[in-house]
Structure 1
Amino acid sequence: MTGRRTHLELFIGKGGVGKTTLACATAISYARAGRRVLIASLDQAHSLGDALGFHFPHDAGAVAGIVNVMPGLDVIELDSLALLEDRFRDVVRLLGADTGHDHGIDIGALDPAESTGLPGVQELLMLVEIAQLAAEDDWDVIVLDCPPSADMLRILTAPPTLLGYVERVWPPHTRTMSAIGADLRRAVLAATMDKIVAAVTEVRDLLGDHARTGARLVTVAEQVAVAETRRIRSAAVLLGLRVDEVIVNKVLPPAPPPTGPAEHPAVHWYLSRRAEQLDAIARLRRELTGIPVLIAQHTGPEPVGVGALSALSAAVDAHPMLGDNPARVRTSSGEPMVRCESGTGLHSVYTMRMPLPVADPATLRLGRVEDDLIVGADGVRRRVRLASVLQRCMVDGAELDGGYLVVRFVPDPRVWPR
């Protein structure tokens, strides 16, 4: 549709916290507001169908299609193995062409199922599929029900990791030479790799586009979950993802206080449990500065099926944040900002400033590999390509400053232009 830019909304959370239910309710609230919505599951447990009370067909060797479950709401469960088998057939057909050259490689002897053991293959295929769906602009918003937190963080690292490996192992100029060479099979392989690089680059750019893509972190009101949520937020920001808000799910609604000593013990347990939840929420709000922490109350019976989720979506609509315009941008860009802090020439001091709300400062690690700065914190690492001026500098120090990492650089006399 001309002029439409599909927005991507990721629901990330620990398994068993009602993440899928909230994703479905939010998608329904968008649809009820007149938006065209696609909800997609990246979780291989396929709990999206369970939440909607709908059985998605998963025929062996077939890529499941998009199903409409209510006006304005489409659903798809992505099967990474089926995607791999479907894409693998095309690669085998291209590389299996008889060119008269025997390179000692029989790619047709490989089984697609074996390739799922390669790190990141399944995740990349699912992300590429999502990026292609977003590029079609048939929907206003795509809501992603993501795998559990640790798995999703690993998925987010897949595109930049693959692109970095390809650039070092088979750089673009070498692929170009292969593509125009006399070896047809090598030329086809180079062309195929260029298509893969283009597709993965599109994924990386979409996930890092703060005007189009954001995430909601779903958690519960427990002290251990609060600590985990802080680490997940830190890791997500480090990886360049826009984090819009944290939703604390299944919070007990308020109840009247006991009227006397004869009150049933269950009432005292309820009030005590709710007080513990409120303490956990207060801690979360203190520690996650700059990000809204929202509450989704416990609904009692589990909402399963479109009807029950539609009722839940009414509460979502009534919330001041949930169901809001998906085009909103609440956080600054995750890209580093570079400026000259003082001095000129060889006496200059440059700073690179990037968002990094580290949960545990002791986990912060910095390294330098050629023109990249390696930043690690809270269990994840990111390669940050340095600006051209910083590539001719040396790291002179670093500090954490109010949710930002500030790295100082001074010119390297050996390469600084004179």
Structure 2
Amino acid sequence: MQTLLVTGPGGAGRSTVAAATALAAAREGRRVLLLCGPDADPFPDPVPGLRVTPVDSGQEFRTELAALQERGASLLGMLGGRPLGTEELTELPGAEQFALLRALRRAAAAPATDLVVVDMPPLHQAVATLALPAQLRRYLARLLPAERQAARALRPVLAQLAGVPMPAQWLYETAARWDEELAAVQAVVEAPTTRIRLVAEPGPAADTALRTGMLGLALHELRTESLVANRLVPADAAAAHPWAAAIAEQQRAFLDAWTGPGLPVHELAHLGRDPRGTDGLAALAATRDLAPGTAPAAGAGWTVEDRLADDGVLVWAIPLPRAHKGELDLIRRGDELLVAAGPHRRIVPLPSALRRCTVSGAALTDGALRVRFTPDPRLWPRER
């Protein structure tokens, strides 16, 4: 099964492109599942091979909180707390992100499905959402380390003596369950069969958002499958009207700046109307190669270059396309490296060889941040 996450700068038409992509794949004979917003209804008529599942964050929030209250009923009673009724629960900020991630995990296990297409939030929110599972798992590991559970066999005995469940036991059990769920979502996000399709309307409004968003995707090693240039001025309109020709020229300039090596571009002409319903989306779905390919996207991973023989260093190459030197930052903390790129931050564990080195410099060249590590003679094995 493949997963295609469709996102882009706000107002670029990502929901429309997601629906058209799902329709194009279904018409090729694939079994497609489209995840979309709770109010979306892109296909009023059934489409063979295509299922649509709305993601209702409000219902997800109420269900999850009710289950949490039920599991912690004994502890809440001990503390004198009163459970909240379902009618009292109003979803909190951030509930949409968790609902989408849970829906993504369920969709990845859906039977009789070849392709899952996900209508993601705008690009900056999508990057934060996809990075969330790994970040939360790191927080849980730091705040509730597994080694602190070494005495967990004693907790049932203490709970029996006290007559109530021990809070620590409940806390660790809840954290373990959350970690398991987050690990399942993280596995879907980082799978080689999960890819991202960007949707943007070429122009100055989208340029900064797209550059910053692509920087965040690269920082978190998320695979970008293609770029959809949406609402392009049709060639006949550009030829007939000077003002349309000027807009088309500007669109082409931005599109050329966005296009990079290994990034296929799908061009969608402006239809002159909002493509609604199955018939309206069919015009976009007919675009050549809009349906995603079946081969996994090739992601440029972080690689360690061995230059010990020539320069006496190891180089960790971090692809960051279109990054600017002034927006980058590096901090070494023990066996971890904090990398900041614009508004995005990521903390990653160092590969074993680099843990025995010191950071001796960094440079941004050819769209990649290259961090130099010099072996620490106190930790590096000596040659015999």
**TM tier relative to shorter chain:** 0.7 to 0.9
Match status 1:155 vs 2:123: no
Contact 1:179-1:191 at 8 Å conserved across structures: no
TM-score computed with the length of structure 2 as normaliser: 0.87
Contact 1:153-1:235 at 8 Å conserved across structures: yes
Matched residue, 2:274: 302
Unaligned runs of 5+ in 1: 1-5, 55-68, 259-265
Match status 1:199 vs 2:165: no
Counterpart AA for 1:86:
T
Shift of 1:29: 1.0
SS in 1 for 2:247: helix
Counterpart AA for 2:223:
R
Question: Structure 1's 300 and 114: CA in aligned 2 closer, same or farther, altered over 3 A?
Answer: closer
User: What per-residue deviation string (whole Å, max 9, x for no partner) do you get for residues 65-117 of structure 1?
Assistant: xxxx4221111121222112112222211111379x93x37373598846724
Q: 1:71 aligns with which of 21, 31, 48?
A: 48
Structure 1 CA distance, aligned partners of 2:43 and 2:150?
A: 48
Match status 1:370 vs 2:344: no
Matched residue, 1:17: 12
Matched residue, 1:402: 366
Superposition pairs of residues 163-178 of structure 1, within 5 angstroms? 163-175=137-149, 177-178=151-152
Matched residue, 2:83: 108
SS in 2 for 1:217: strand
Counterpart AA for 1:193:
A
User: What per-residue deviation string (whole Å, max 9, x for no partner) do you get for residues 198-228 of structure 1?
Assistant: 111121222122x211011100121331332
Counterpart AA for 1:73:
L
Counterpart AA for 1:387:
P
Matched residue, 2:290: 322
Superposition pairs of residues 27-176 of structure 1, within 5 angstroms? 27-41=22-36, 46=38, 48-49=40-41, 51-53=42-44, 69-97=46-74, 102=78, 104=79, 106=81, 108=83, 113=89, 116-117=92-93, 120-175=94-149
SS in 2 for 1:301: coil
Matched residue, 1:26: 21
Question: Structure 1's 312 and 114: CA in aligned 2 closer, same or farther, altered over 3 A?
Answer: closer
Matched residue, 1:292: 264
TM-score computed with the length of structure 1 as normaliser: 0.81
Structure 1 CA distance, aligned partners of 2:69 and 2:175?
A: 13
Question: Structure 1's 190 and 257: CA in aligned 2 closer, same or farther, altered over 3 A?
Answer: closer
Counterpart AA for 1:116:
L
Question: Structure 1's 292 and 154: CA in aligned 2 closer, same or farther, altered over 3 A?
Answer: same
Size of the alignment, in residue pairs? 373
Matched residue, 1:337: 303
Counterpart AA for 1:39:
L
Structure 1 CA distance, aligned partners of 2:322 and 2:253?
A: 22
Structure 1 CA distance, aligned partners of 2:148 and 2:133?
A: 21
Question: Structure 1's 348 and 137: CA in aligned 2 closer, same or farther, altered over 3 A?
Answer: farther
SS in 1 for 2:125: helix
Matched residue, 2:162: none
Question: Structure 1's 94 and 394: CA in aligned 2 closer, same or farther, altered over 3 A?
Answer: same
Shift of 1:416: 4.6
Structure 2 CA distance, aligned partners of 1:165 and 1:107?
A: 28
Matched residue, 1:242: 223
Matched residue, 1:62: none
RMSD, aligned CA: 2.8
Contact 2:2-2:194 at 8 Å conserved across structures: yes
User: What per-residue deviation string (whole Å, max 9, x for no partner) do you get for residues 284-308 of structure 1?
Assistant: 33xx343223311111221111232
Question: Structure 1's 161 and 114: CA in aligned 2 closer, same or farther, altered over 3 A?
Answer: farther
Contact 2:32-2:50 at 8 Å conserved across structures: yes
Structure 1 CA distance, aligned partners of 2:115 and 2:297?
A: 17
Contact 1:358-1:378 at 8 Å conserved across structures: no
Structure 2 CA distance, aligned partners of 1:300 and 1:359?
A: 35
Contact 2:221-2:299 at 8 Å conserved across structures: no
Unaligned runs of 5+ in 2: 160-164
Contact 1:220-1:226 at 8 Å conserved across structures: no
Shift of 1:405: 2.1
Shift of 1:417: 5.8
Matched residue, 1:229: 210
Shift of 1:143: 0.4
SS in 2 for 1:407: strand
